Amino acid sequence: MKKILLASVVSLALFGCANDTEEYIEAPLPEQQADLRDFDGDGVINARDKCPTTPKGARVNNVGCEELIEVSQEQTLKILFENDSAEVNPVFSGQIQGMAEFLKQYPETSIEIQGFASNPGDREYNLELSRNRALFVQDKLIGFGVEANRVTIIGYGEDDVEDDTPTDEALERRVEATVVGFKGDFIKEWTIFTKLPK
């Protein structure tokens, strides 16, 4: 046994390793990115995040973008007038203010105010009266802080009016408008760390 071991050591010393004549080549290091930071805290690292400013609490997809839903809301305005008058009764101020607040909440919307008149009287006069009614309401909205360029008016006069009774006539002396506001909102993600309001 000692003879075999001694022979192995002698042969190793005499002949050496087969690779002694070649230069040693170091193994290449892999190019790794160790940056695991997540600036917007959405659970997707910056290197993969295509939406780096995700709102807090938003549900995100694999590339860190929030999922949006479209929210819509409708607001209606209907104001009645006395016969042969364009003055807005103070009882309708709350309704006009509510419309102004709605327009502020949805800044991308605009409003068309439509004025109407009842049949009695001259046709041209009623057209002008219906326009003046719409103008008065426009002025009130602007007074509540709505930008003038978001409000247009149109006077329909007594067009498309079929007055049958004094009640019908009263309902035709009006200004009306309907606005639908749209805005995107993100889907919120609930986790075990979500705090409920107290």
- Structure confidence at residue 188 as a pLDDT band (50, 70, 90): low
The answer to whether residue 131 sits within a structural domain is: yes
**Beta-ladder partners of 151:** 111
- What type of residue sits at position 19? N
More confident residue, 110 or 6: 110
Structural domain includes residue 24: no
> Which has more confidence, 107 or 4?
107
How many structural domains is the chain composed of?
A: 2
Query: Residue 197 — pLDDT band, cuts 50, 70, 90?
Result: low
Indicate if 86 and 176 belong to the same structural domain. yes
Structural domain span for residue 55: 36-66
Whether 198 has a pLDDT exceeding 90, the answer reads no
Q: Is 85 in the same domain as 170?
A: yes
pLDDT for the residue numbered 189: 58
Three-state SS sequence of the chain:
CHHHHHHHHHHHHHHCCCCCCCCCCCCCCCCCCCCCCCCCCCCCCCCCCCCCCCCCCECECCCCCECEEEEEEEEEEEEECCCCCCCCCHHHHHHHHHHHHHHHHCCCCCEEEEECCCCCCCHHHHHHHHHHHHHHHHHHHHHCCCCHHHEEEEECCCCCCCCCCHHHHHHHCEEEEEEEEEEEEECECCCCCCCCCC
**pLDDT at 19 (0 to 100):** 55
pLDDT greater at residue 4 or residue 94: 94
Quick one: average pLDDT of 160-168? 66
The per-residue pLDDT for range 95-107, each reduced to its tens digit, is 999 999 988 988 8
- Is 78:173 a contact under the CB 8 Å cutoff? no
Regarding whether 101 and 43 lie in a shared domain, the answer is: no
pLDDT tens, residue by residue, 36-57 = 788 888 888 888 888 888 777 7
Contact of 80 with 170, CB cutoff 8 Å:
yes
- Pick from 66, 87, 120: which residue ends a domain? 66
Looking at the structure, tell me whether residues 129 and 54 fall in a common domain: no
The per-residue pLDDT of the chain, averaged, comes to 78
pLDDT at residue 87 tops 80: yes
- pLDDT at position 100, please? 93
More confident residue, 29 or 130: 130
Does 26 fall in a domain? no
Domain boundary among 66, 85, 107: 66
Has residue 14 been placed in a domain? no
Residues 133 and 62 in one domain: no
Question: Would residue 31 count as lying in a domain?
Answer: no
What integer pLDDT is reported at residue 65 of this predicted model? 83
pLDDT attached to residue 70: 67
Q: For residue 140, what pLDDT is reported?
A: 94
pLDDT, tens digit (0-9, with 9 covering 90-100), for 107-121: 888 889 999 998 877
Please check whether residue 17 lies inside any domain of the structure: no
98, 76: one domain? yes
d(CA 90, CA 106): 25
> Percentage of residues in the chain with pLDDT exceeding 90?
25
